[in-house]
Amino acid sequence: MPLSHVLEITELRKIYRPGTGRQVVAVDGFDLSLEAGMVIGLLGPNGAGKTTIIKCCLGLVIPSSGTIRVAGYDLWRQPVQARLRVAAVLEGSRNVYWRHSVIENLRFFANLHGYSWAAARPRAEELLERLDLADRRTALVGELSRGMQQKVAVACALVRRCPLVLLDEPTLGLDVETARELERLIIELAREQGTTVVVSSHQMDLVERICRRVAILRKGRLVVNDSVTNLLDIFAARAYRFTLENPPGIEQRQELLSRFPGVCFDDAAGAFRLEVMDAGEFYDLMEFMRQAGLRVAQIDREVPDLGEVFLQVIRGEGSFA
């Protein structure tokens, strides 16, 4: 494996067998290889397998089969070496110790990964300032607000300077200003220190701002692994909005839906949207409207966002299926 690969997941599979005896396939043959300095979004609807994958990478869940290597170390054959090279914010503020102060948590997690407090303290002080925790350093974590606790969890993950950082909903409970500061921190970690960051989030605007790539899961399987730019370009090349001078009647709507199943009507605006697969379908649509007597006032190519692409993927629509 090339030394530049910080995370290598091969044929990962996890099957749960709850008390009913019925097996549930949470992850089914997942492959992912990440280079140093990459920020990638791990996306999928609830139950798609995202959290299971993250917990497997942390050694918290034992997979049914497959391998995981962190910074070149096999997670099961060399667990100590592998786990020292990965940090995480998982399930919000549950990562930290509520009966200890903010600074005690930072010191503990730095020591846990082999850093003396003397070596880790400058980084800890920087994080306290940037995450607006400096004046709460001696406060017990359990006495802080939910947002403050989330910031402590993030600081404890980042103080360790691990080559791989896994963030599950990292901006949960954060105010807008702190969330944006965290985004800048993540980008700096990747660009200046070569840290690889995996972000699992339902906030598509966050993922679109900070991630170069996205891996999208559906029912435990990887269905898309591509750059954000490429996905947006693909979607933009085929999504159109047609504004009509005369709205279609009931029969025209039914025939339009029958021949072009992806049509979405916006009755208030007298328009409809369609993801056109190719030039032939576009011209078929135009010919249909001409024969149906539907007069087109305006045609616009839609500017997509990652949320729209995500919905297309998880629904299994178009060429993403």
How many angstroms separate the Cα of 165 from the Cα of each of 39, 58, 160? 10, 10, 10
CB contact at 8 A, 7 and 198: yes
Q: CATH assignment of 237-320?
A: 3.30.70.100
Q: What is the pLDDT of residue 320?
A: 52
Domains 5-227 and 237-320 belong to one CATH topology: no
Q: What is the pLDDT of residue 92?
A: 61
Q: What amino acid occupies position 215?
A: A
Distance, CA of 198 to CA of 5 (rounded, Å) = 13
Classify 5-227 by CATH class.
alpha beta
Q: Where are the domains of the chain?
A: 5-227, 237-320
Q: What is the pLDDT of residue 166?
A: 96
Q: What amino acid occupies position 183?
A: E
> Could you tell me where the DSSP H helices lie in the chain?
50-57, 79-83, 102-112, 117-130, 146-158, 176-193, 204-210, 228-236, 250-259, 279-292, 306-314
- Please give the chain's pLDDT, 321 residues, in tens: 445 689 999 999 999 987 767 889 999 999 999 999 999 999 999 999 999 999 999 999 999 999 999 999 999 999 999 999 999 998 766 678 999 999 999 999 999 888 899 999 999 999 999 999 999 999 999 999 888 999 999 999 999 889 999 999 888 888 898 889 899 999 999 999 899 999 999 999 999 999 999 999 999 999 999 999 888 887 766 778 899 999 888 888 899 989 888 788 888 888 888 877 677 888 899 999 999 899 999 988 777 788 878 887 887 754 554
Burial of 113 (0-12, 13-18, 19+ CB in 10 A): middle
Q: What is the pLDDT of residue 317?
A: 56
- What's this model's pTM, rounded to 2 decimal places? 0.79
Q: Of 301, 284, 295, which is closest to residue 241 (Cα–Cα)?
A: 301
Q: How many CB atoms neighbour CB 23 within 10 A?
A: 11
